Structures are given as structure tokens and as C-alpha cells.
Amino acid sequence: MQFDLRKNWMWIVIIVGILLFGLVFFGIHGLRFGIGLLLFTLPGYFAFRKLKFSPEESACYGFFTSIGIVSGIVYYVGFVIPFAWAVYASLILLLFASLYLLIWGK
Amino acid sequence: MDRRVELLSIVVLYLAVLFIWSMPYRADGMPYGEFDATSHFMVADYMTTQDSSYMELPPYIALRYGLDNAFKPHTLWYHPPYHTNFAIMQVLSGDRVLGVYLMNTLLSSSIVLILFFVMRSLYGYWAGILSALLVSFSMRDIMVFLWGQWPERIGQALIPLVLFVYYQYTKSYLEGKEDRRYAYLFGVLLAVNLYMHPVSFFHSIAALVIYTIYLFVKHRKIPWNWKNIGISAAIFIVLLAIFPFQTGNVIASFIGKEQTSATTPDFSRLFYWFKTPSELPGVPASYFSFSLMHGLWTLPFLLLGIIILLIRRQDKDMLLLSWLIGLYLVLHADVIGKGPFIHRSLAASAHIFVPLTVLGALSIASFFKKDVRKYAKIGVIIVFILLALFINGRTGVYGAKDSSGNVVLLGLNDVKQYSHRLNQAQYDAADWMRTNLPQDLNVTNVGVIDLNTARWIAGVSQHINTPYAPKTDNFPAREEFDPYLLMDYSVLPYLVNQETLDLFLGWEHDMLVNDTLIYNENNVRIYAIRPT
């Protein structure tokens, strides 16, 4: 799968805009929040893209299912390992799993 | 219009919404909100600060919420994902307050994004962006966001998304091109809807039943494939089974003894959209004012929108009307003995009123001759944007005053006057208590002005805090002292005269002279009490 910059420049503008917004109005913690939000939403986004939903639908469904499903996963992993580790481990694993599915999955 | 410009416009609008809605905490970074807000902060915060998920409530939360789970007392009473979202953002942002409050702002205002997405998909860009703009200043959403009944906001925001996904599925099925992706997504979103707040789930169910009956009557067939809707139901059940104590709580509460206070149902209420109660249920009178909450200018457009949809009766029109009827049913649930907080569902009114208002306004252009229709539409859009910004936007940010100049409604900008927040001195003392005092020992508060502030100190310090004077008429007797005592002069000198202040200082001097001062910063002192 290739990333076509000409088709997707708007998404990059949006992501940079959100991160800048966080940095300018909420400082470094706002920037971290923005990056965290991306990390939180992207697994769902990629999963819905894999299911051939449009980018807008994938972003919408990706975020609003994640607030139930991804946080549910983090919650249970947080019983097994420290919670902060559970957050990072779950989100990174989900991100790689969804990317793998999107790129190489059948 | 170019899809990219459409996307950019909603992103710009939504960032502006986040900027405006974050006014209450952006400047000082202090937590705020009423009793309920403290609970939502506490549940998430305990997860992050203890660095572990948990099911059983710690004492300082259980003191008030221990029995709120009717199925398994002293455990989390909401499905965990809602508060885990806050905890995740505390970890990722690295800020204890911002993580909760910015995520809450995002979830509480998410109706802006969802209405844009749903209305744009159903009726085109202008219906989407105008709905998003107007709902950005929905006063009841803002009020609840300021008060603290936060899970309802995202729960009610998910209703149109659940309905839309169901609409997409039934539409594909009835057109003979069944798209089962939507069936499965429907099961997931319905479960997430219940995770966020049970009342919003029942609102979704009411609207779905009505819409399904309509489809059944119109098409004379069940609007789904049993196999795929069965898989959807299985997904839903599995997702609920993952959190048995909280799902059990929803079931136990629904079939349990929860009743309205009225012994006989008031059937006259059925003839009102919402009859303002004679005794206000802990909310200001402005909460029941259409004019203050929606803007009187929206009423003709709202009625026109309903009439247009009733005349046209396309499936998507009936979806919106089902949503409206579903809200009516939820608002009158007390008539069949379900309540008692039905007025809370009024906060979902704007979510359906706004799209109907927008459709009513946009339909005006169709009354003009074909050759000027385009210009009429542009005119309507400009007028709509100006009214939304200068009436609803102004009220949302600056609140409202009556003809005598009395404040009848607080806006987002006024919230600095809002008493339910800690100041920096209280926050620092509470945070010090969290890290320095043994977790199972309680703290007596003197000088903390009200119960709400004591609750916030409890939340941040993670200790049970019991407030006495001036919250009560009396100072605590020595035998009532907890192992620690907090004397708070950070607010008191501004509220009482010198004579009263001397009373507090004198009491502290006489009563605590033999105890150990262990914290003394910014007019807040904490004593370790000598055991007697």
C-alpha cells in the first residue's frame, strides 16, 4: 500500500493543525494530548479503512468506537501490568496490529 | 463544494469550539464542577495515580458512591471505559487536570462533530456545518458540561450516530444491497452507547423501535437480515458481558425500585413537550426556558423543519422524527414510573432540535422561484450564521441577564465566578496530602467553605475530608477529630468579617496548640493530631 501525498495532504494539514492548537493553547501537555489522541484514534481508523469505509467515516467510527473498545482493553490490561504501561503497550500494539491488517491483511 | 474545504471548515469550527469550551480551566488549570464532576475526576484519577486499574471503590469514593452500583455495591457503578478514557489522557498528556478536562471537553462537545458527520451524510454540507455551528452553543450542553453530569453528554451525542448506522444498514438491506458492515458496527456502537450512559441507550432504543415500526409499515417487511442482525446482537451482548457488574447495575436499576417522587403519574404532562416542574429539581429556572436555551428565533424554523419532514416523509426524514419522538418518550418516562431525573434528558433536546431547525431554515429557499433560489439559499445561510453567532454564541460565552441586569445564566466566560473549584493553595495542599499522608486516615476540615470544596479536596488528596465550620454552625469537638486536620484560610478572609476570622484563629490556637503542624503554605495549614 502506498501513501499518496497529493490525495492526503488535507489530513496532514488537519493533524498538524490539531497538534499546533494543543501546543499553543495548552503548552507541552496539550501537544502530548494531541499526539495521544492520534495514538488513541488511529488503530480504529486503520481498522475501518481496512473495512473499506471512507476516510471521514473511518475517522468518525474510529474515534467513537475507541472510547468504548480501546479504553476497555486498556482497563483490563491495567490489572496485569502498571496502568501507564498498559496505556502505552495497548495503544502501540493496537496501532501496529491495525497497520499490519491494513497493509498486509487479506 | 470541495470535500477538502468541507473537512477543513469543520476542523476549524471544532478547534474554535474546543478553545471556547476550555475557557473554564484553560487559564488556571484548576479542576471545577459540582458533586458529580468530582466523582468523575476521582474515578479516573485514582486509576492513574495508583498506576493500576481497579474495580472496588477506595473509601473516599465509596463514602458517597458505594451504593450506586445496585448489582454489586462498592464497585465502579459506570462501565469502566468512560473514566478510563480520562485516565488514558492523564497518562498521555502528562497532566493530571488537563488530561481529564480536555478529554471531557472533547467528549462533551462531540455532538458538534457527530451532527456534522450525520447531517452532511444525509442532507449535504450546509445542513451539516450549520447544525454543527448552532449546536456548538447549545446552552444545556454547556450547563451540564459546567455542572458535572458529563457521561450523559457523550451518551446523548452518540444517539444520532447509532441511528445513522442503523439507517445505513436498513437502507442497504431494503435496497437489496445489504451492507453487513453497518450491522456489526451498529452492535458495537450500541454497546458503547450503553457504556457511556444507560439513559442515552434507552433513548436510542426508543428511537430505533419507532423507526423500525415505520420501516416495517412502509415496506411491509422486517428491515433486516436475521442472521446479520443476530451477529450484531451477539457482538452487543459480548461487549456488555465484559463488564458484568456494571451491566448488572443497569439491569438492576432498570427493573428495580427507582420511582418518581409523585405517587400518581401526572398525565397532563403528556400534552407538554416538558412541563416545568413546580419545584425545580436542583437546576436553575433558566434550564427550562426555550428562549435562553435555544434562542427564540429558532422556534419558527424548528416547527417548519418538522412540518417539512412530515410532508416529505423520506426514510431519512422519518429517522430524524423517530429520534424526536424517542426523546419525547424519554422525557415522559416518569408517567410510567421511571425517573426521577427525566429533566436531565432535556439536555439532549438541542441535538435533535438543531438539525430540524437547520432543515427548516434551508427549506425556505425552496419557496422562491427557481431562478433566485440559489441566492435565497445564500441569504438564508448568512442570516442563520449571524443569528447563531450573535444570539446563541453570545449567550454561550457571556451568559444572559434579565431586564433588571441580574445574571440569569452563566456563560463559559463567567465561570471564573463559579464557586465550585479549588484555588491553587487548596489544590497544592490536597496534592501534598495525597503524597504525604497515609491513605487510610481521614482529614477534618476547618475553614473550608462548603461541602463541594471539601469534596474536591477529598478528590485531589484521595482522603475522606469532613468539613466543619463554616460549612456547619459548629467547630469539631476534639473527640471528633480525624488523625489530620486541615485549616484553610485561603478563601475565608474574603468571605467573613475580622471578628469571625478571629474566632477561627482563636479556635486554632486554643485547640491545636499541642498538635504538630506538618504543612504550612499559602494560608493553608495541616496538623497531625496528637492521639488522646
Residue A74 is nearest to which of B84, B110, B113, comparing CB atoms?
B84
Residue range B153-176: average pLDDT? Answer: 98
Q: Other CB atoms closer than 10 Å to residue B406's CB: what's the count? A: 8
Q: Other CB atoms closer than 10 Å to residue B361's CB: what's the count? A: 26
Name the grid cell of A26: 495548552
Residue range B108-127: average pLDDT? Answer: 98
Name the strand (E) or helix (H) holding A13: helix A5-50
pLDDT at B331 over 80: yes
pLDDT of residue B262: 52
pLDDT at B465 over 90: yes
d(Cα B308, Cα B320) in Å, to the nearest integer?
12
Q: Are A87 and B50 in contact (CB < 8 Å)?
A: no
d(Cα A40, Cα B497) in Å, to the nearest integer?
52
Q: Other CB atoms closer than 10 Å to residue B170's CB: what's the count? A: 25
Which residues are paired to B466 by β-bridges? B444
pLDDT of residue B233: 98
| Least confident stretch, B63-67, B306-310, B389-393 | B63-67
Q: Are A30 and B185 in contact (CB < 8 Å)?
A: no
In contact, B22 and A21? CB cutoff 8 Å: no
Which residues in chain B (69-128) have CB-CB distances under 8 A to chain A? 79-82, 84-85, 87-89, 91-95, 98-99, 102-103, 106-107, 110, 113-114, 117
Residue B338: pLDDT band by 50, 70, 90 thresholds? Answer: confident
Q: Are B195 and A64 in contact (CB < 8 Å)?
A: no
Which chain B residue shows the shortest CA-CA distance from A88?
Answer: B92
Sequence-distant (≥ 6) Cβ neighbours of residue B238 within 8 angstroms: none
Please work out, in degrees rounded to the nearest 5, the angle formed at the alpha carbon of residue B63 by the alpha carbons of B62 and B66: 40
Cis peptide before A55 (omega within 30 of 0): no
At A58-87, the pLDDT tens digits run 999 999 999 999 999 999 999 999 999 999
SS3 label, residue B290: helix
Cis peptide before B58 (omega within 30 of 0): no
Please work out, in degrees rounded to the nearest 5, the angle formed at the alpha carbon of residue B185 by the alpha carbons of B182 and B187: 115
Name the grid cell of B181: 458492515
d(Cα B197, Cα B429) in Å, to the nearest integer?
34
Q: Residue-wise over B236-267: b if at least 16 C-beta within 10 A, else e?
A: beebbebbebbbbbbeebeeeeeebeeeeeee
The strand pair at B484-488 and B516-521 is best described as unpaired
Residue range B372-383: average pLDDT? Answer: 96
SS3 label, residue A88: helix
Which chain A residues have a beta carbon less than 8 Å from that of B117? 56-57, 60
Residue range B131-140: average pLDDT? Answer: 97
Strands of the sheet containing B516-521, edge to edge, are B465-467, B443-446, B484-488, B524-528, B516-521
Sequence-distant (≥ 6) Cβ neighbours of residue B455 within 8 angstroms: B35, B38, B64, B465
What is the DSSP code string of B115-152? Answer: HHHHHHHHH-HHHHHHHHHHHTT-HHHHHHHHHT-HHH
pLDDT of residue B257: 60
pLDDT at B77 over 90: yes
Residue B359: pLDDT band by 50, 70, 90 thresholds? Answer: very high
Rg (CA), chain A: 15
Domain spans of chain A?
5-104
Rg (CA), chain B: 26
pLDDT of residue B107: 98
d(Cα B369, Cα B260) in Å, to the nearest integer?
53
What is the DSSP code string of B422-435? Answer: --HHHHHHHHHHHH
Percent of chain B with pLDDT over 70: 97
d(Cα B434, Cα B428) in Å, to the nearest integer?
10
**B241 and A CB contact within 8 Å:** no
Q: Are A10 and B98 in contact (CB < 8 Å)?
A: no
Percent of chain B with pLDDT over 90: 82
Q: Are B188 and A65 in contact (CB < 8 Å)?
A: yes
Choose, out of B53, B75, B189, the residue to mutate when testing the contact with A (most A CBs < 10 Å).
B53
Residue range B268-290: average pLDDT? Answer: 85
The strand pair at B443-446 and B484-488 is best described as parallel
At B39-75, the pLDDT tens digits run 999 999 999 999 999 999 999 999 999 999 999 999 9
SS3 label, residue B404: coil
Q: Are B22 and A56 in contact (CB < 8 Å)?
A: no
Which chain A residues have a beta carbon less than 8 Å from that of B114? 60, 64
Q: Are A36 and B102 in contact (CB < 8 Å)?
A: no
Residue B397: pLDDT band by 50, 70, 90 thresholds? Answer: very high
Residue B263: pLDDT band by 50, 70, 90 thresholds? Answer: low
Which residues in chain B (170-229) have CB-CB distances under 8 A to chain A? 181, 185, 188-189, 191-192, 195-196
pLDDT of residue B294: 96
pLDDT at A1 over 70: no
pLDDT at B343 over 90: no
The residue written with cell numbers 457527530 in the block is B114
Please work out, in degrees rounded to the nearest 5, the angle formed at the alpha carbon of residue B323 by the alpha carbons of B227 and B198: 75
Residue B389: pLDDT band by 50, 70, 90 thresholds? Answer: very high
Name the strand (E) or helix (H) holding B444: strand B443-446
pLDDT of residue B405: 85
Q: How many CA atoms lie within 13 A of B406 on its CB side?
A: 3
Q: Residue-wise over A36-64: b if at least 16 C-beta within 10 A, else e?
A: bbbbbbbbbbbbbbbeebebbbbbbbbbb
Selection from B417, B309, B403, B298 nearest residue B361 by Cα: B298
Residue B274: pLDDT band by 50, 70, 90 thresholds? Answer: confident
pLDDT at B499 over 80: yes
Name the grid cell of B294: 435555544
Query: In angstroms, what separates the C-alpha of B72 from chain A's closest C-alpha?
Result: 18
pLDDT of residue B255: 84
Which chain A residues have a beta carbon less than 8 Å from that of B89? 33, 36-37
Residue B248: pLDDT band by 50, 70, 90 thresholds? Answer: very high
Q: Are A75 and B53 in contact (CB < 8 Å)?
A: yes
Residue A33 is nearest to which of B98, B113, B188, comparing CB atoms?
B98
d(Cα B424, Cα B197) in Å, to the nearest integer?
32
Residue B4: pLDDT band by 50, 70, 90 thresholds? Answer: confident
Name the grid cell of B352: 435533535
Residue B117 is nearest to which of A56, A69, A83, comparing CB atoms?
A56
SS3 label, residue B467: strand
Average pLDDT, chain B: 93
In contact, B451 and B497? CB cutoff 8 Å: no
Residue B495's Cα: distance from chain center in Å?
A: 31
ipTM surpassing 0.90, yes or no?
Answer: yes
Which chain B residue shows the shortest CA-CA distance from A7?
Answer: B4
